[in-house]
Amino acid sequence: MKMRKIFCGIIVLAFIGFIGAIQSPAAEKEVTYLSLADYTAAIAGLNVPGDMGTEDYFKELNAKGGVDGVKVKFIGVDTRYDVARGVSAYKRYRTAPKLLVANAIGTPIGKAVAPLATKDKIVQLVPGDGEFQAHIGRIFVWGPTYQDAFAATVDWLLADWKKKGKPGMPKLGYISWDSAYGKEPLRGGKEYAEKMGVTMAPPEFFPAGALDHTVYLARLAKAEVNYIFVGGVDPTPTNVIRDAHKLGLTKTIQFFCDYWGPTSLGVRLHPEALEGTVIVSYYIRGDDARKHPLANLWTKYGRGKLEDMNEVYTIGMLWAMTFEEALKIALKQVGYKKLDGEAMYQAYQKLTGLERAGLQGPCAYSPTSRRGSWEVRFYQVRGGKINSISGWIKTPDAVSLHKF
Amino acid sequence: MKYIKKTIIVLSLLMFLLTFVACSTLFPPPKPKATVAVTPEKVELAFPGILRVPIVFTGTGWAPKEMVVVDMVLPQGVEMKGVNPGEDVGIAYGEADDAGNFKGEVPATAKLNTIFRVGWTPILAPDPKTLNPIPPGVYKIKASGADSGALATTTLEFVKPAPKQ
């Protein structure tokens, strides 16, 4: 009797195991994309909409079945300008299943995490530091480097000067955060300006968090500059130009901003002060961005009204599109089982010429290039809107002019 | 017969012991245990005074040139922006030297974000109105090696600031 009970028990357990086995789905194939970003304060204006774009693009991709059945898991960590948090978060997630790419949206965290990411043989993305083009490794820049964009702006202002029929050569001023990011455009950009015969006034650097910029601007005005290039992530550049407007400088000096200059949302707040400001950008902005078919992901995934879409959302989609294409190549090369950071690294170097729906110039990644693209466009604030004033223009190579 | 049996037993024992003696040379000498210490061990939750007090972690026995990450364990109920419940929060890091010694200081951003749980204004300045210091108490600190996986622990005590005279 006892034996019979034991035998029945074994049969029941085996049956339960069998049912469980046939009901559990096959283990889902997944890879991980890690974002180490500051989701608060100034850089939040870049990081939050940027990562929204990435997350939404991956949601869309996964809903369509992923890349050959492989889904992408997005992990976003708020590092709050804190390098210790960034390093700790990277260490925590470095063992995530098939972590292939870490995007460090901030220069200091990017530089701190680089040794670990390199040891782990994954791909790391950083904003625009030219040193990663000068020293080729596993770190890839989102677009043209900061110095390349600065050099393209020098070309633009020389053409503008000539068009206006002014004699001699213009003088250029520069103002930005007192940080590694703030100084980066001049590492090669300054050499390019000199090469082109443009004199530069001594650059002005102010601490992040400065409420007033009139002292720095007054010094540039005293140096009799004709153009001023303003760095910082919005709202900082908007606040600098607002102060310049108060001083009456915007009437006589043409102001420029870099990639992180005013978005359409910032322009709405200070349309008068920003009127005429020229923005150099490696991604589409203003109505160009909002009218793009991919912008519908913003509303589809409940981010709000389209007119409230921050154009930086576009950059996030670009990171994801680039990842998707590299994943396709890597899977083709090694298959899912052997897929790792090394395979992804090899794949990123094969993306040369990749078109990304016109959101950015063609991809320039190659075995010898870490630039996300070579091209920039110029936009200008007119009538409270950001309007395109150029097509895609290839930037000069300013990185090669500097000794890193 | 009895003699042969005894000899076989002794020889078997010898063979058995020899295996261990021989194999012991294959193993490297034991690694020194990783350690971590903090100076000072007690910190006043006084703002902005804390920004002037260096909180420094030092340690020995780590793998040469490895990155050592220092995390603070958050007790249950202590919430922190940017940190999921149950996660530790990074407060310092440093690279070990060739001898396996490391040093890492808590940066100002970690003091603001983690010890004072401050918010930031849109122009990248800490917002003093949002100061929300962590509860006083003894907090567990975990240092871990990024290459070796070694782990060492210590504690750091946060105390209420002394009342103003």
ipTM score: 0.79
Single-letter amino acid, residue B17: L
| Tokens describing residue A110 | 């990017």
Q: What counts of helices (H) and strands (E) characterise chain A? A: 16, 14
A94 neighbors A115 (Cβ within 8 angstroms): no
pLDDT in tens, A180-203: 999 999 999 999 999 999 999 999
Distance CA B120, CA A80 (A): 9
User: Cβ neighbours of residue A233 under 8 Å, at least 6 residues apart?
Assistant: A42, A43, A45, A46, A260
Which candidate in A38, A39, A90, A91 is best for mutational testing of the B interface (most B CBs within 10 A)? Answer: A91
Nearest Cα of chain A lies from the Cα of B164 at a distance, in angstroms, of 30
H runs (alpha helix) in chain B? 2-24, 108-110
- Partner B, chain A 202-231, Cβ-Cβ below 8 Å: 208-211
Please tell me if residue B68 touches chain A, with a CB cutoff of 8 Å.
no
DSSP alpha helices (H): ranges in A24-166? 44-63, 83-93, 107-119, 131-134, 146-163
Count other Cβ atoms within 10 Å, centred on residue B28: 6
| Nearest residue of chain B to residue A88 (CA atoms) | B90
Predicted local distance difference test score (pLDDT) of residue A11: 58
* Minimal Cβ distance to A84: which of B87, B92, B119: B92
pLDDT in tens, chain A (404 residues): 556 666 556 555 555 555 544 444 457 899 999 999 988 877 787 889 999 999 999 999 999 999 999 999 999 999 988 999 999 999 999 999 999 999 998 778 888 899 999 999 999 999 999 999 999 999 999 999 999 999 999 999 999 999 999 999 999 999 999 999 999 999 999 999 999 999 999 999 999 889 899 999 999 999 999 999 999 988 899 999 999 999 999 999 999 999 999 988 889 889 999 999 999 999 999 999 999 999 999 999 999 999 999 999 999 999 999 999 999 999 999 999 999 999 999 999 999 999 999 999 999 999 999 999 999 999 999 999 999 999 999 999 999 999 99
Q: What are phi and psi of A232, to 5 degrees?
A: 105, 155
Answer whether A82 sits within 8 Å of B113, measured CB to CB. Answer: yes
> How far are the Cα atoms of A67, A142, A333, B90 from residue A328, in angstroms, in the given order?
6, 19, 9, 35
Q: Tokens at residue B140, please?
A: 């567990």
Q: Does B64 touch chain A (CB under 8 A)?
A: no
d(CA B88, CA A92): 9
Joined together, the tokens standing for residue A97 give: 């299943």
CB contact under 8 A, A92 and B87: yes
Identity at A3, one-letter amino acid code: M
Q: Which candidate, A189, A315, A82, places its Cα nearest to that of B89?
A: A82
Please state, in angstroms and rounded to a whole number, the distance separating the CA atoms of residues A302 and A322.
24
Strand partners, A104: A36
* Nearest-angstrom CA–CA distance, A253 and A225: 7
Compare all CA atoms of chain A with the CA of B93 and give the residue at the minimum distance. Answer: A84
Alpha-carbon distance A16 to A24, whole Å? 12
DSSP reduced 3-state for A2: helix
What's the pLDDT score for residue A107?
76
> Residue ranges of the alpha helices (H) in B25-146?
108-110
Which structure tokens are listed for A376?
């920039």
Task: Please report which residue ranges of A262-370 form alpha helices under DSSP H.
Answer: 264-269, 271-274, 286-290, 296-300, 313-334, 341-348
CB A72 within 8 A of CB B97: no
Alpha helices in A335-388 (DSSP H): 341-348
Nearest Cα residue in chain B from A45: B122
Return the structure tokens found at A9.
Answer: 């028990």
Q: How many CA atoms lie within 13 A of B29 on its CB side?
A: 1
Q: Which residue of chain A has the CA closest to B70?
A: A88
CA distance B36 to A144: 43
Residue A139: which residues within 8 A CB-CB, separation 6 or more? A110, A114, A117, A118, A124, A125, A126, A132, A370
Q: Which of A176-180, B18-22, B124-128 has the highest mean pLDDT?
A: A176-180
Query: Is A39 within 8 Å of chain B by CB?
Result: yes
Inter-chain touch B90–A86, beta carbons under 8 Å: yes
CB A313 within 8 A of CB A49: yes
DSSP H or E segment with residue A188: helix A186-195
What is the layout of strands, in order, in the sheet containing B56-59?
A: B37-39, B56-59, B102-105
Contact (CB<8Å) B90/A116: no
- B49-83 residue pLDDT tens: 999 999 999 999 999 999 999 999 999 999 999 89
